[in-house]
A = this chain, B = another copy of it.
Amino acid sequence: MAHTIAEIATALGAQALGDVSLRVSGAAEPQAAGPEQLALAMTPSYGDALKLGRARAAVIWPEADWQAMGLEAAIMAPLARLAMARLTQMLDDRGRMAPGVHPSAVVDPTARIAPDAAIGPLCVIGAGARIGAGTQLASQVTVAAGAEIGAACLILAGVRIGLRVRIGERVILQPNVTIGGDGFSFVTAAESNVERARASLGEARLSPPEDATWHRIHSLGGVEIGDDVEIGANSTVDAGTIRPTRVGRGTKVDNLVQVGHNVRIGEDCLLCAQSGVAGSTIVGNRVVLGGQAGFADNIRIGDDVVIGASSAVLSNVPAGRIMMGAPATSMAAHLASYKALRRLPRLMRDIMASKKPVPKPGLSD
């Protein structure tokens, strides 16, 4: 997997200097780089660190005197925003799995597996499931009967793919992801405490309902994951009730994220770690949901909405809005309230301390 400095520079559209035939096999921070690694020193702040490491080549900032730093070769840092993406892709040495089915995998004879797909050790693939061309299943993956996985996917260890799940092309599922678990959908014969709380706007004093037994609404709708989606470790996407839960093309989902039943998420969204989307909510395109933030159930989020970390969105959001807080409001309103709240204790102290208690009803005239 080693590359020459010339090859890397070409891939980045950058200029190579010095011994461009030098080979490197990975990237590292300047101070930690060994002689076979490419140091990444894209700003002058890394100058001193370069001297501590043992790199022979580096990606350097424009106008850096790379020879004076003892480097044998250098790549002038390109300004392109995509440089890190291209560089790390090039240096990624995760080998491709050899095509074929590992003998320890348990594969139903009716499953259709593309000839160049790779099925790792101890995977289980159910009847009628389909695995697309070039797709790799690492070890111990489960694919339920009838599930479909498109071409060129990477499904890592311990992923569970349930009934009626369809996955597009070039999808990456990190370890221990669960796609197609049953939705959290239950109903009581009598009005439940949740319904009474909502109906009373929180004013009710709740007492035991007549019949508190939760009856299960089964999930028959499955899940559809679009092309180029990535889902982080230990995240969950539940099956829909009678239509599929959907995650749109190009959307990226971080670790420990929950996507509830019947949810539809648009294209090119980001769902940061530990965020959640409750059942039946519809999310537009290019929406960003911050870490530990959540969308309530049964709401609509427009395109190009950004939600700050740790926020709770409880109602519809029009397109283009930036929201924060729990419950979330516009970021501007939230910050104004937050600043005022910080000053509120002093205001209250002042009011309490004033001899003539101001304001006080009926006192002023």
A106 to B310, CA, bound (A): 42
Contact call B351/A214, Cβ cutoff below 8 A: no
Contact flag A274-B276 (CB < 8 Å), given A28-B242, A142-B139: yes
| Residue among B176, B212, B214 making CB contact with A285, cutoff 8 Å | B212
Which B-chain residue is minimally distant from A327 (CB atoms)? B338
Contact call A260/B286, Cβ cutoff below 8 A: no
Q: Mark A328-362, 1 if CB is under 8 A from B, else 0.
A: 01111111111111111101101101111011111
Which B-chain residue is minimally distant from A142 (CB atoms)? B157
Binds B, one of A4-12, A16-24, A64-72, A229-237: A229-237
Instruction: Tell me, yes or no, whether A76 is within 8 Å of chain B by CB.
Output: no
Instruction: Tell me, yes or no, whether A121 is within 8 Å of chain B by CB.
Output: yes
Contact call B206/A88, Cβ cutoff below 8 A: no
Contact call B181/A220, Cβ cutoff below 8 A: no
Instruction: Tell me, yes or no, whether A63 is within 8 Å of chain B by CB.
Output: no
A353 to B365, CA, bound (A): 13
Contact call A255/B217, Cβ cutoff below 8 A: no
A321 to B89, CA, bound (A): 40
Instruction: Tell me, yes or no, whether A136 is within 8 Å of chain B by CB.
Output: no
Contact call B342/A333, Cβ cutoff below 8 A: yes
Instruction: Tell me, yes or no, whether A250 is within 8 Å of chain B by CB.
Output: yes
Q: How far is the CB of A188 from chain B (nearest CB, A)?
A: 7
Contact call B278/A272, Cβ cutoff below 8 A: yes
Contact call A243/B324, Cβ cutoff below 8 A: no
Contacts of A335 in B (CB 8 A): 201-202
Instruction: Tell me, yes or no, whether A148 is within 8 Å of chain B by CB.
Output: no
Instruction: Tell me, yes or no, whether A245 is within 8 Å of chain B by CB.
Output: no
Contact call A94/B255, Cβ cutoff below 8 A: no
Q: Mark A146-189, 1 if CB is under 8 A from B, else 0.
A: 00000000001110101100000000101110100110101111
| Residue among B29, B208, B243 making CB contact with A28, cutoff 8 Å | B243
Which B-chain residue is minimally distant from A336 (CB atoms)? B345
Contact call A258/B274, Cβ cutoff below 8 A: yes
Instruction: Tell me, yes or no, whether A140 is within 8 Å of chain B by CB.
Output: yes
Contacts of A214 in B (CB 8 A): 250, 252, 268, 270
Contact call A194/B331, Cβ cutoff below 8 A: no
Contact call B160/A156, Cβ cutoff below 8 A: yes
Contacts of A362 in B (CB 8 A): 353-355
Could you tell me which residues of chain A, from 237 to 294, have a CB within 8 Å of some CB in chain B?
238, 241-243, 250, 252, 254-256, 258, 260, 267-268, 270, 272-274, 276, 278, 285-286, 288, 291-292, 294
Task: A88-B219, A178-B255, A291-B294 given; name 17 further pairs at CB < 8 Å.
Answer: A32-B243, A81-B189, A82-B215, A85-B187, A91-B218, A92-B218, A122-B124, A138-B142, A160-B176, A174-B181, A200-B322, A202-B322, A208-B304, A214-B252, A236-B255, A258-B274, A343-B348
- State the 3 A-B residue pairs at the shortest beta-carbon distance, nearest first: A202-B331, A181-B233, A310-B312
- Ordered by A's residue number, 25 sampled pairs between the chains whose C-beta atoms are within 8 Å are A32-B243, A88-B220, A120-B124, A124-B157, A140-B142, A181-B232, A193-B286, A205-B321, A212-B286, A213-B268, A234-B256, A256-B274, A258-B291, A273-B276, A276-B291, A291-B296, A294-B310, A333-B342, A337-B342, A347-B348, A351-B359, A355-B364, A355-B365, A358-B358, A358-B359
